[in-house]
Copies of this chain bind each other. A is one copy, B any other.
Amino acid sequence: MVGTAEPVTAGILVIGDEILSGRTKDKNIGYIAEYLTGLGIELREVRVVSDVEEEIVAALNALRARFTYVFTTGGIGPTHDDITADAVAKAFGVGIDVDPRARAMLLEYIKPEDLNEARLRMARIPAGAELVANPVSKAPGFWIGNVIVMAGVPTIMQAMLDEVAPKLRTGVKVLSETVRADAREGDIGGPLRLIAQAHPDVTIGSYPFMGEDGRPNSNLVVRSRDAGKLAEAVAAVRAMVETVRRP
């Protein structure tokens, strides 16, 4: 992992009808988002699409053209609705076939007599891709161009992310500090805007929540790649908050 001054960016493509129907609640977006932030990689966009090849191809091509990396989740199992590998091959305009390395990985987990046509689908890998090991259940993900294709099952996806992380180019980590307002957003919105304008190299977000005292409150999150500029902006936010904070 090498940190560079250039921002390193990413998109996530979640693939699966079960997420769009609401039957399965996605747990991968938040996990990957936090993971990438920790690596200094900026997640810029997420898309969720259905198990329809043309939708997957269009979304993948849109995202991979714009970001350093695209991480996909879902659709790499053995059943007929698992079409991610074929869609990725189509997006890249390359062939796809059973990969001997992937087949060998499956045979670490599956008896040769059980390696039927359905399971062999999990060894279909687009030409030119590197495999991403799956320490949980062996069927691998893969990495082609700037696209990393992972399982949808959270435990497997997380293990795959750990596999690829050491090979990712990473950026300068964004530092952040949170100041609890103990005030309502509407009372700090004016002065906070002035602070944001006076500190163009930091971003300041205001995230309202309902306090344990039953009163509206807000967390002010200050972010920057520059520790000195972060500290200056945080000091300004703290001073402002002192003037409006309620007893």
Binding site for B on A (CB under 8 A): 14, 17-26, 29-37, 42-51, 55, 59, 77-82, 110, 114, 116-119, 121-122, 137, 153, 155, 174, 176, 185-190, 192-193, 196-197, 203-210, 216, 218, 221, 223
Given A19-B33, A80-B193, CB of A185 within 8 Å of CB of B118? yes
Residues of B within 8 A of A121 (CB): 189
Check if B17 sits within 8 Å of A46, measured CB to CB: no
Given contacts A20-B42, A44-B50, A81-B205, 10 further A-B contacts (CB under 8 A): A18-B207, A20-B43, A24-B207, A77-B185, A78-B189, A80-B196, A81-B203, A116-B186, A118-B188, A153-B209
10 A-B pairs with the lowest CB-CB distances in the bound complex, closest first:
A118-B189, A22-B34, A22-B33, A46-B48, A25-B30, A79-B206, A80-B193, A119-B186, A78-B189, A20-B43
Contacts of A33 in B (CB 8 A): 19-22
Q: Give the CA-CA distance A33 to B21 in the complex, in Å.
A: 6
Most buried by B among A35, A78, A204: A78
Instruction: Evaluate contact between B118 and A190: CB separation under 8 angstroms.
Output: yes
| CB of A64 to closest CB in B, whole Å | 15
Given contacts A24-B207, A221-B23, contact A80 B48 (CB under 8 A): no
In the bound assembly, the distance between CA atoms of A33 and B197 in angstroms comes to 37
Q: How far is the CA of A82 from the CA of B190 in the complex (A)?
A: 12
Determine which of B19, B37, B44, B49 lies in contact with A22 in the assembled complex, contact meaning CB atoms within 8 Å.
B37
Contacts A/B (CB < 8 Å), 9 sampled: A19-B29, A19-B46, A21-B176, A23-B34, A79-B185, A79-B192, A114-B186, A118-B186, A119-B186
Expressed in whole angstroms, the minimum distance between the Cβ of A50 and any Cβ of chain B is 6
Q: Which residue of B lies closest to A186 (CB)?
A: B119
